[in-house]
Structure 1
């Protein structure tokens, strides 16, 4: 019997391919463009540390989701929760139009989410609950989008809408009698309902093995209580997150 170690048909164990790491790590600079406050005609731009970190598709930190967990996951679906930071806020100093309305601070929210992908189509739903006590209540965002990879490019686009509870709409779009007296705006009562309808767009490009750039854009249109509020100066909304990440 020939010596197996000398057989040319057997692979060299020293050259065996190492299993792929369960870690995926990428980070870099990012920039956020968002309304100065909900219903504002002005935009604000600020830098943002763009993170895209995950372990075994189970634990992750991505975008505004500071720390998340896919409780149930497979190649086609995810169900889980995360601690998410919401940049929505409103300060009286932002605009003379806001004097007398009081400030609304941004802060952390609990996010519960689920998504499912069939071929090139993905449906998702996410519930956001204010856990900082800033009067932002809860919102539910539902989206459907189609994705197309092309070389180093990835394109995604699709519609969605946001539902908001009565506390959220009262905080951002309602005007109480006290606020009316202080601001000069007419009193305005709100309730739960559709906050906006929107169109999502996303594009990313792999410049190299390590560098990837991406831009996510959401164009929205305020509806119902949000649209008719005396606080609202513009019904259209633009939200953008652009980043350039280095992948390890």
Structure 2
């Protein structure tokens, strides 16, 4: 599995990853560098910042620091502070699949602003566990599906299908494009987009209890610019569009927007 193929599903998530950069720098070295044999264990460290929606469906954005750690063992086990945990149990020529563990950001009072005083609940960050299956159509193109659920007992479950394409390199710049469709079960949809009768009265909107289904479609472009054999700058830009029941929520219609944009840049050192 390539490190760029499994971005954490986050509204954000989603989809903003430095891991592509770490993999790209291994494939091609900047001028003056020399090729080295693939290592069984690679470690990447980095730091940067990202700009993303304050909460899933928000119209305003927030900026936060991005500490980054990525540990990859033989392309079979990968742990990342961005992507979570991926264990490839299949590890065949074209097929990959196994277990995943991720984290999904919630929303705090500072994220919600005045909405928190009007009955919109905060949400804790949650950990997910699940499984994935991926197929390499070509050397550059892969498609996959992933299923996860909260392990905290919220009853929320998530799924996504995706296609990831490695674009032709531009000099020493490696870059890729990813298209994904994400879905939530009814519990997850109501957790993020539902409006209780009490909150509706305070907000002046109808109550809202959506069913599960497609929640978002997104496109992510990421790139890595090597600055030496061991360092480089990673960049990612993502555009997502909330769909159907998610987009129809009064939280989105009256206080947010269905278009969700994210940007990330980080400096990465790998060894």
Instruction: Please give the range of the TM-score, normalised by the shorter of the 2 chains.
Output: 0.7 to 0.9
- Which among 74, 79, 103 is matched to residue 56 of structure 1? 74
- CA–CA distance in 2 between the matches of 1:141 and 1:19? 34
CA distance in 2, matches of 1:102, 1:241: 28
How far the C-alpha of 1:241 sits from its partner, in A, is 3.5
2:242 is aligned with 1:222: yes
Instruction: Indicate if the aligned counterparts of 1:92 and 1:103 stay in contact, CA closer than 8 A.
Output: no
Name 1:114's counterpart in structure 2: 133
Query: Are the counterparts in 2 of residues 91 and 104 from structure 1 also a CA contact under 8 Å?
Result: no
Partner of 1:84 in structure 2?
A: 102
Greater per-residue strand proportion: 1
Q: What residue number does 1:184 align with? A: 204
1:1-248 equivalent positions in 2, closer than 5 A = 20-91=38-109, 94-98=112-116, 99-119=118-138, 120-133=140-153, 135=154, 137-150=156-169, 151-232=171-252, 233-248=256-271
- How far apart, in 1, do the equivalents of 2:60 and 2:203 lie? 19
Q: Evaluate the alpha carbon distance shift between residue 92 and residue 168 of structure 1 in structure 2; reply closer, same or farther with a 3 A threshold.
A: farther
Q: Figure out how many residues of one structure are paired with residues of the other and give that number.
A: 230
Q: Is the 8 A contact 2:54 2:111 kept in 1?
A: no
Which structure has greater helix proportion? 2
Shift of 1:40: 0.6
Contact 2:167–2:177, Cα closer than 8 Å, also in 1? no
Q: 1:44 to 1:132 in 2, by over 3 A?
A: farther
Q: Note closer, same or farther for the CA distance 1:219–1:45 as it changes in structure 2 (3 Å cut).
A: same
SS state of the match for residue 56, structure 2? Answer: coil
CA distance in 1 between counterparts of 2:133 and 2:89 reads: 10
Cα deviation, residue 126, structure 1: 1.8
Q: What is the CA deviation profile of residues 97-123 of structure 1, one whole-angstrom value per residue up to 9, with x for unaligned ones?
A: 342122111121114222222222111
Q: CA deviation at 1:212?
A: 2.4
**Aligned in 2, Cα 1:117/1:20: closer, same or farther, shift over 3 Å?**
closer
Q: Could you list the runs of 5+ residues in structure 1 that have no partner in the other structure?
A: 1-17
Q: Give the TM-score of the pair, scaled to structure 1.
A: 0.83
Matches of 2:48 and 2:94, distance apart in 1: 28
Shift of 1:238: 1.3
The CA RMSD measured in Å over matched residues stands at 2.2
Question: Larger C-alpha radius of gyration, 1 or 2?
Answer: 1
How far residue 83 of structure 1 moved from its aligned partner, in angstroms, is 2.2
Secondary structure at the counterpart of residue 89 of structure 1? coil
Q: Distance in 2 between matches of 1:216 and 1:93?
A: 22
Question: Quick one: structure 1 residues 92 and 20, their matched pair in 2 at CA, closer, same or farther if it must change by over 3 Å?
Answer: closer
Distance 1:223 1:93, change over 3 A: closer
Q: Give how far 1:50 is off.
A: 1.3
